[in-house]
């Protein structure tokens, strides 16, 4: 699959305003500042497809990118969650939207969950894994910013996450990733290829 063909399609404030629920979609979710935008840009080999920001928590929209002309294959950038400065009520609202999207979106064939390798498996990450599990939605975890750890420490983090997710090993895969070093891009492409080939 040629991910560099990804183009911005639309932004939607809610699930109801997303493009028609047909074709195949792969969504990206993660805690604010985990490195989701950087991962999307690296995977699509584009500098600024998804906005990266030093001010986390500002992307509240669902951003949709199409892969190729017909918009039947899409990448979906879901709002980051957990940003401390967002009021609790707004946080809960986003979380509800996210869960609803994951539960109801028929074209959704896989979820990429982006986590900072130094802070993996937050409470809400685990909640999303539960939601995905309920509908047998496969999940691929990117442990990103792997360049921030020494190689041995990064491998340990990977092993720890794998062992904590053993009960979900049929649905969930995990890898190290670094947008800065372009580490793990081929592995991520292979997993996405499988989902988008549906």
Binding site for ligand GDP (CB under 6 A): 30, 32-38, 52-54, 56, 80, 144-145, 147-148, 178-180
Beta carbon nearer to ligand GDP, 23 or 174: 174
Q: What is the CA radius of gyration of the chain?
A: 15
Distance CA 15, CA 62 (A): 8
Which is it for the CA torsion 87, 121, 55, 50, positive or negative?
negative
Beta carbon nearer to ligand GDP, 23 or 129: 129
| Letter string b/e over residues 32-58, b meaning 16 or more CB atoms within 10 A of that residue's CB | bbbbbbbbbbbbbebeebbebeeebbe
Beta carbon nearer to ligand GDP, 25 or 77: 77
73-77 β-sheet, strand order: 6-12, 62-67, 73-77, 24-30, 108-116, 139-144, 172-176
Distance CA 185, CA 118 (A): 19
Backbone φ, ψ for residue 28 (5° rounding): -115, 130
Q: How far is the CB of 22 from ligand GDP (least distance, A)?
A: 27
User: Pairing between strand 172-176 and 73-77?
Assistant: unpaired
Beta carbon nearer to ligand GDP, 23 or 31: 31
Q: How far is the CB of 32 from ligand GDP (least distance, A)?
A: 5
Beta carbon nearer to ligand GDP, 32 or 44: 32
Q: How far is the CB of 121 from ligand GDP (least distance, A)?
A: 16
Beta carbon nearer to ligand GDP, 34 or 102: 34
Q: How far is the CB of 136 from ligand GDP (least distance, A)?
A: 26
Q: How far is the CB of 14 from ligand GDP (least distance, A)?
A: 20
Which residue is listed with tokens 């442990």? 143
The H or E element that residue 160 is part of is helix 151-164
Q: How far is the CB of 153 from ligand GDP (least distance, A)?
A: 14
């Amino acid at each position: 699959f040629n991910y560099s063909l990804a183009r911005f399609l639309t932004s939607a404030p809610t699930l109801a305003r997303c493009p028609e629920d047909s074709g195949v979609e792969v969504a990206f979710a993660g805690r604010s500042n985990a490195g989701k935008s950087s991962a999307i840009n690296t995977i699509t080999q584009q500098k600024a497809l998804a906005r990266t920001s030093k001010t986390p928590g500002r992307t509240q929209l669902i951003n949709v990118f199409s892969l190729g002309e017909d918009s039947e294959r899409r990448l979906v950038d879901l709002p980051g969650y957990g940003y401390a400065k967002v009021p609790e009520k707004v946080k809960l609202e986003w979380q509800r939207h996210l869960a609803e999207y994951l539960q109801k979106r028929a074209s959704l064939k896989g979820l990429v969950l982006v986590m900072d390798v130094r802070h993996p498996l937050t409470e809400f990450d685990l909640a999303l894994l539960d939601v995905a599990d309920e509908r047998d939605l496969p999940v691929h975890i990117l442990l990103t910013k792997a360049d921030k750890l020494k190689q041995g420490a990064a491998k340990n983090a990977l092993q720890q996450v794998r062992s904590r997710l053993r009960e979900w090993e049929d649905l969930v895969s995990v890898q190290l990733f670094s947008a800065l070093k372009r580490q793990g891009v081929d592995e991520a492409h292979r997993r996405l290829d499988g989902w988008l080939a549906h």
